[in-house]
Amino acid sequence: MSHRSIDSTRLLGRIAELGAIGRDAEGRLVRLAASDSEKLGRDRFVSWLEDAGLEVAVDRIGNIFGIWNGTGGGEKPVMIGSHIDTVINAGIYDGCYGVLAGLEVIQTLKSEGLEPRRPIVVAAFTDEEGVRYAPDMMGSLVYSGGLDVTAALKTVGTDGTVLGDELARIGYAGSRAPGFMTPHAYVELHIEQGPVLEREGVPLGAVENLQGISWQKVTIDGDANHAGTTPISMRRDAGYAAARVITFLRDRAKASNTPTVATVGCIAFEPNAINVIPSRATFTVDLRDPDEDRLKQEETALAAFLELLSAEEGVGVSVERLARFEPVKFDQAIVRQIEAAARDRGLPCKRMTSGAGHDAQMIARIAPGAMIFVPSRGGISHNPKEFTADTELVAGANILLDVICGLATGELPR
């Protein structure tokens, strides 16, 4: 039994080549959205699209599309997408892998003379990382109608620039209306950015949903008093109260036997002096769960605990909501096609939840979609140590090939 295969040398070469573009003076990979260095990456990607004979389209928010109409012109396309902007001091796989594998899949099917019933499109969405312009996943959010393009273009960045100006300056303020193609289906191939596949020794993930996210900032107010002269019973210690919230969240998540995760990533005490009881503790709470009801339960449990804490410790508590996204359910048929393709190639595949946000969750608003994950060494991402083995990258791209082929032709994967 023989399978189609992407050109692994070409794919891996392009990942390395794109990963070398946008290095700063210290050698760090920094391709922030719509920056000069990202322009270099965009230009290289567009040149590859042109070399592959694809039609290149850019929409008003700067999303780039490589379109192979082939024999399917006029039908809704099958879309493969991700992003090529990066965080500061990034690895080379996050986003870029999915975009370049998408191009690779189209180029492979095209060179094999496939006659698809639908166009196949590869998309690189603008500003997925959101480091320079908030919110993240902006290009796919605008494309799917979740944010007005005119408003989005006015976004002021962390460096004081305006997104629309910067896109025009680098030559990527396109003319197409975001959403100009409604996908028949959407598939995104991505590194897991978590440790699950590696720890379980499974090379592939069929991502069936994406966690809902609740971000809150909690401020606890007590009294700053002398650490030596204030008896324990007379304290209103904001730092101790914060510590109780941290242990509450973690112990609850651990005991729950659910996929709920809870993280306190940021903290600050005031006045932050060794011999002064903290008068204020400020910290963030990141709650995630693939089930909306359970995520709401967790939020409610936190609120109830904060109320109890306020009474028990005599501290003031205030909560600010920073972000809230409902969980996303991907398309079950596409998830099953991913599993079938893996089975057909004799590769183990795990149904899983995405803990991170991806463009796929935005495009899921307008089209059936799903994601394919490959392992991340040590679960590390957003870091130069981000790593996935070449064999795993190639295996993931071949599964993408099979699934896209099936979606574009109606063939079952083989």
Chain residues binding a copy of itself by CB under 8 A are: 192-196, 199, 211, 213, 215, 224-234, 237, 239-240, 242-244, 246-247, 250, 253-254, 259-269, 272-278, 284, 286, 288, 322, 354-357, 379-383
**What secondary structure does DSSP assign to 127-160, as a single string?**
TSS-SSSSSSSHHHHHHTTSS-HHHHHTPBPTTS
- Residues in Cβ contact with 31 at an 8 Å cutoff, skipping those fewer than 6 apart: 21, 22, 37, 38, 40, 41, 84, 85, 86, 90
Nearer to a copy of itself by Cβ, of 39 and 358: the residue is 358
Q: How far is the CB of 379 from a copy of itself (least distance, A)?
A: 5
Which 8-state DSSP code applies to residue 30?
B
- Residues in Cβ contact with 70 at an 8 Å cutoff, skipping those fewer than 6 apart: 110, 114, 115, 116, 119, 120
Q: How far is the CB of 127 from a copy of itself (least distance, A)?
A: 17
Nearer to a copy of itself by Cβ, of 37 and 193: the residue is 193
Residue 221, helix vs strand vs coil: strand
Q: How far is the CB of 313 from a copy of itself (least distance, A)?
A: 10
CA pair distance 34, 86, nearest whole angstrom: 11
Establish how many alpha carbons lie within 13 A of residue 39's alpha carbon, considering only the half-sphere containing its beta carbon. 11
User: Sign of dihedral through CA atoms 96, 120, 65, 41?
Assistant: positive
Binding-site residues, please?
A: 83, 94, 129, 190, 382
Which 8-state DSSP code applies to residue 413?
P
Q: b vs e for 323-338, b when ≥16 Cβ sit within 10 Å of the residue's Cβ?
A: eebebbbbbeebbebb
Q: How far is the CB of 122 from a copy of itself (least distance, A)?
A: 25
Do residues 193 and 379 make contact, with C-beta atoms less than 8 angstroms apart? yes
Binding-site residues for Zn(2+), please?
A: 83, 94, 129, 190, 382
Closest CA to 7 of 72, 45, 52: 52
Closest CA to 102 of 407, 401, 411, 410: 401
Nearer to a copy of itself by Cβ, of 12 and 196: the residue is 196
Q: How far is the CB of 32 from a copy of itself (least distance, A)?
A: 16
Nearer to a copy of itself by Cβ, of 179 and 379: the residue is 379
- Residues in Cβ contact with 215 at an 8 Å cutoff, skipping those fewer than 6 apart: 284, 285, 286, 287, 321, 322, 323, 324
343-to-4, 162, 403 alpha-carbon distances in Å: 15, 47, 12
Which 8-state DSSP code applies to residue 54?
P
Do residues 212 and 289 make contact, with C-beta atoms less than 8 angstroms apart? yes
Q: How far is the CB of 275 from a copy of itself (least distance, A)?
A: 6
Q: How far is the CB of 325 from a copy of itself (least distance, A)?
A: 11
Do residues 342 and 348 make contact, with C-beta atoms less than 8 angstroms apart? yes
Closest CA to 58 of 72, 39, 76: 39
Q: How far is the CB of 358 from a copy of itself (least distance, A)?
A: 11
Q: How far is the CB of 247 from a copy of itself (least distance, A)?
A: 5
Nearer to a copy of itself by Cβ, of 2 and 275: the residue is 275
Nearer to a copy of itself by Cβ, of 92 and 109: the residue is 92
CA pair distance 199, 215, nearest whole angstrom: 27
